[in-house]
Amino acid sequence: MKQLVLLASLLLLSWTTTAATPEINIVPKPLLVKPAEGSFTVDAKTTVAAGPDKELLRVGRLFATMIEPVTGHNLPVKRSSANAAILLSVNDDLEEEEYRLTVTPHDITVQGGSPKGVLYGLQSLRQLIVDGGGVVPAVEISDKPFFGYRGAMLDVVRHFMPVEDVKAFIDIVAMHKLNRFHWHLTDDQGWRIDIRKYPDLARVGSIRKETLFGHLRTSSEYDGTPYGGYYTQSEIREIVNYAAERYVEVIPEIEMPGHALGALTPYPWLGCRGEGYNVWTRWGISSDVFCAGKETTFEFIENVLAEVIELFPSKYIHIGGDECPKARWKACPHCQQRMKENGLQNEEHLQSYFMQRVEKWLQAHGREIIGWDEILQGGISKTATVMSWRGSKGGIAAAKAGNKAIMAPNTHCYLDYNQTAEPRYEPLANGKYLPVRTVYALDPYDQLTPSERACILGVQANLWTEYIPDFFHAKHMLLPRLAALAEVGWACDRKDFEDFRKRMSHFRKTYDAAGYNYATYFFDGKDE
């Protein structure tokens, strides 16, 4: 009998302890979590202290706006720690993106290796505040990311996104602790960046006379409506600064040598034919590309990039390199002469010449290039970074050759693909199928030895917008799949899909608090 009483007491004690220490559900998954007893309530009376550091003060104010849906207004943020409940500080013993979050019944402290690390800690705290309606369970969290490069790409060429939508995209990137925004700005369907030396790029190259209606594979109908839009240099600076305030680096992409009709239309001398170009009204790959044989082409590109690097302080400039048909080069006397003069065996080597020449110019101006995995064709320099999109094979080949690589394979990272196995229930999309589980299953180190793995910088999600006409639709495609990719980048060494699924049921409350529309298939169990 005594044994039964003792057993019952132990079971009751176990239940009581469990009840007193609720689960900590954060996305991406933290490195180390130690639940404790009790909780702290964040409400309208809570004060944030950031000390004398102006940057921490700014981070604290940004955090206050994030949790306004719970507190009802922005929390006061001050320098003095007197009577403050949330204490922010930089700890030089931590790495730049590392943070420590400690919640007790008396206060909350957030330390980071830099203000960036503090903001990541506050993003985790934000989730806990929203999840508990202001009641935050006592806990100690030590956390840092697995990969240094964690990105998301937005295509604003196929469908233009106004400045406020781009800022909202950056907010979503920051919420998921991603740190790179890859901005796809030029393509066959339009040129979206104002270049002062070539004003017709924006005035003419940003506008197509109409747009394909329906899916590329099944439709020949067009809407008959001119479509355009571009960003002024002032707007670009505004967006770059907005991203920097959230510790997101903006990497512009200026496509070359293919996907060039946005430039060839206003300036036809850039092409091999020299005439007859129009901004494309459909999707796919145009055979018209920059002429690699004319010196005026490289003069144009260098002049464009000179303005680009003044606008974007990023280490990397993405210069495309994908899907470049070679038919025009084969028929072009200028290109053939270039090949002869430089001893180039074929047109793939001509593309290699083109990309390496642009890379050398950018390096002379303190920048490095990223290119899609086609830049491997014909050979690349040892300093070029490869973004692998046609599966992982390009990134694997780059790493094995000693080049840096970013894994963004369409098999796992293309968020314009359908989210369910029943696309008739979804908005018009690319047509391929990519559920949350598949995004989460990405292995950035697939087929690589330990030494080769050092070449993998990180991962990136891509959102192409052929079938995404506005940002409302974009959010539906991004969320919640972006969270799966973010966990691959932040917590690659501790992934557990079923645990992720459980934590996402809490994280969706943060989407709700921010007012984001998102796809519910994953949460409803209807995506597989």
Q: 290 forms bridges with which residues in the sheet?
A: 271
- Kindly list the structural domains of the chain, giving each domain's residue range(s) and its CATH number in brackets, ordered by start: 20-143 (3.30.379.10), 149-524 (3.20.20.80)
Q: What's the rounded Cα separation, in Å, for the pair 353 and 380?
A: 9
- In degrees, rounded to 5, the angle at the alpha carbon of residue 84 between the alpha carbons of residues 83 and 90 is 135
Q: What's the rounded Cα separation, in Å, for the pair 231 and 239?
A: 10
How many other C-beta atoms lie within 10 A of the C-beta of residue 167?
A: 15
Q: What's the rounded Cα separation, in Å, for the pair 133 and 513?
A: 10
Q: What's the rounded Cα separation, in Å, for the pair 56 and 88?
A: 7
Contact 297, 291 (CB under 8 A): yes
Contact 136, 209 (CB under 8 A): no
- pLDDT tens, per residue, the chain with 528 residues: 434 444 444 444 344 334 445 789 999 999 999 999 999 999 999 999 999 999 999 999 999 999 999 999 889 999 998 889 999 999 999 999 999 999 999 999 999 999 999 999 999 999 999 999 999 999 999 999 999 999 999 999 999 999 999 999 999 999 999 999 999 999 999 999 999 999 999 999 999 999 999 999 999 999 999 999 999 999 999 999 999 999 999 999 999 999 999 999 999 999 999 999 999 999 999 999 999 999 999 999 999 999 999 999 999 999 999 999 999 999 999 999 999 999 999 999 999 999 999 999 999 999 999 999 999 999 999 999 999 999 999 999 999 999 999 999 999 999 999 999 988 889 999 989 999 999 999 999 999 999 999 999 999 999 999 999 999 999 999 999 999 999 999 999 999 999 999 999 999 999 999 999 999 999 999 999
DSSP 135-196: EEEEEEEEE--S-SEEEEEEE-SSS---HHHHHHHHHHHHHTT--EEEEE-EETTEE-B--T
Q: Give the pLDDT confidence of 142-160 residue by residue, as tens digits.
A: 999 999 999 999 999 999 9
Q: Return the pLDDT at 19.
A: 44
Q: Give the pLDDT confidence of 496-527 residue by residue, as tens digits.
A: 999 999 999 999 999 999 999 999 999 999 99
Query: What residues are annotated to the active site?
Result: 187, 259, 323
Q: Give the pLDDT confidence of 187-241 residue by residue, as tens digits.
A: 999 999 999 999 999 999 999 999 999 999 999 999 999 999 999 999 999 999 9
Which residue matches tokens 């002032």? 234
Q: What's the rounded Cα separation, in Å, for the pair 12 and 260?
A: 70
Query: What Å distances lie between residue 117 and 68, 85, 110, 308, CA to CA?
Result: 21, 19, 9, 29
Q: What's the rounded Cα separation, in Å, for the pair 208 and 466?
A: 14
pTM, two decimal places: 0.95
Contact 271, 279 (CB under 8 A): no
Phi, psi values for residue 301, rounded to 5°: -60, -40
**3-class SS of residue 472:** helix
**3-class SS of residue 316:** strand
What order of strands is seen across the sheet that includes strand 86-90? 32-41, 135-143, 99-103, 108-112, 86-90, 48-49, 77-78
